[in-house]
Each structure stands twice: as C-alpha cells, then as structure tokens.
Chains A and B, each alone.
Chain A
Amino acid sequence: GDSVTQMEGPVTLSEEAFLTINCTYTATGYPSLFWYVQYPGEGLQLLLKATKADDKGSNKGFEATYRKETTSFHLEKGSVQVSDSAVYFCALRLTLTQGGSEKLVFGKGTKLTVNP
C-alpha cells in the first residue's frame, strides 16, 4: 500500500546549523507530496508542497524537491532557528480519481529541537 517513511527522530541541532530530514515514499500512481509542521501546542499546518516530479516546494526558508527517480522528498533548511523547533511530518496524496479517496498518508513525524 501507499506509505511514507521519514527519518527517526529526535533531531537536535544548534542554531544556524543545516537541517535535512529525509522522506521517501511508496505509492501507486503519481502522488502530491507535502511537509506539515506541528509547533508546540498548535495544530498541524502545511509547510510546503510539490505536485509533480522535479517541483520544488519552499516556505520560511525550508525547501524540498520532488524526486521521482529516488521516490524522495527530503526537507532542508540552510540555517535553522530556535523557532523552528517542532515536529515535521512528510505526507503524500494520490492524484484525484473520480469517487476515490483523497486522504493524506503521513509519516511518523520527526521531532526537531534547535538550541540557542
């Protein structure tokens, strides 16, 4: 079945360090790919997305590129801040088919802590 695998956490970095959180997927068809973020005490919110191969999603200094050949969507940021401390979830959604499900399939989440 469709699934998302992301790197185990927790990840602890110092401020201004480079961040990579790996995400790979297995899917039938051609999924859209997403990163959601959950800040402490808040609900999940969309961070960025990519809908087709070679698309790059970006937001708040974070980037991820849809790599069909490696079925990956790794999240990167060049210089993390304390305020980036959160849990990050990679997710996929299959292309709309008539009458089909539009659910997102999520990875297990990666907790990031950034220390000053």
Chain B
Amino acid sequence: GAGVSQSPSNKVTEKGKDVELRCDPISGHTALYWYRQSLGQGLEFLIYFQGNSAPDKSGLPSDRFSAERTGGSVSTLTIQRTQQEDSAVYLCASSLRADSPLHFGNGTRLTVT
C-alpha cells in the first residue's frame, strides 16, 4: 500500500527565501509528526498533529517555522526567510493512532545556499 509521501524530495533555495514542504500521510492515520535530521544531530522533533490540531509545537526552532494540517490529512511545513542553518533533511511520519508505530516518509532534503 501507499506509504507516507513527501515532496519535493530535494529543495535548493537561496538564503532569505520561503519554502514549503509537503507531507501526505497514510490514509486514515490520525497522528502526524515532523522531524528534522541534521548530520550528527539525530532526529529533532518539530511538531505533532492529532487530526488538524497541534497539541505539541514545542520543537519548532523559531517563529520562522510554521506548520498546518488540513482535512486530517495533508500537512505543510513552511520555513520563512530561510537561513543556512535550516539545511537538513525534514522527515514526516504518521501513525494510525497516537500509540501506534510511526511510518516515516523518505524526507525532503533542504539546502539553503
């Protein structure tokens, strides 16, 4: 069956530009997560959605980062005024319920030049 789909798979942008990263979770999965994977830093939690609401936004690094989820499905992570330190792989994951295993997408590799 279809897994978690993320787009684009690669994004190169200039410093100061805004970017939008998209995540299509597995159909029927109520929980959705965004993580950031930087070299040598492991996986850094960004935000958690249950349905369309975000009970935990504690991992968003600054107010340049925002995310939304609509229709209990697709989620968009937006980074405004990108900085070089935003370069990383952004991973999305979904799970059937809050206590179910996470299914990860292949990520979006963001490079800020």
A104 interface neighbour in B58, B102, B103, Cβ under 8 Å: B102
Beta-carbon contact of A106 and B56 below 8 Å: no
Beta-carbon contact of B55 and A100 below 8 Å: yes
Q: How far is the CA of A109 from the CA of B40 in the complex (A)?
A: 8
Beta-carbon contact of A89 and B42 below 8 Å: yes
Give the number of chain B interface residues (Cβ < 8 Å): 27
A61 CB within 8 Å of chain B: no
Beta-carbon contact of B42 and A107 below 8 Å: yes
Beta-carbon contact of B105 and A43 below 8 Å: yes
B73 CB within 8 Å of chain A: no
Size class of the contact patch on chain A? 20 to 34
Within 8 A of B (CB), among A24-80: 32, 34, 36, 42-46, 49
A96 CB within 8 Å of chain B: yes
A105 CB within 8 Å of chain B: yes
A interface SS class? loop
Beta-carbon contact of A42 and B102 below 8 Å: no
The count of A-to-B residue pairs whose CB atoms sit within 8 angstroms is: 59
Beta-carbon contact of B98 and A102 below 8 Å: yes
CB-defined contacts of B3 to chain A, threshold 8 Å: 43
Which residues does A use to contact B, with CB under 8 Å? Answer: 32, 34, 36, 42-46, 49, 89, 93, 96, 99-109
B91 interface neighbour in A43, A101, A105, A108, Cβ under 8 Å: A43
Q: Decide: A108 near B41, CB < 8 A? Known: A42-B106, A49-B101, A102-B48.
A: yes
Residue of B nearest to A34 (CB): B101
Interface 1/0 per residue, B54-86 and A, CB below 8 Å: 011011000000000000000000000000000
B104 CB within 8 Å of chain A: yes
B90 CB within 8 Å of chain A: no
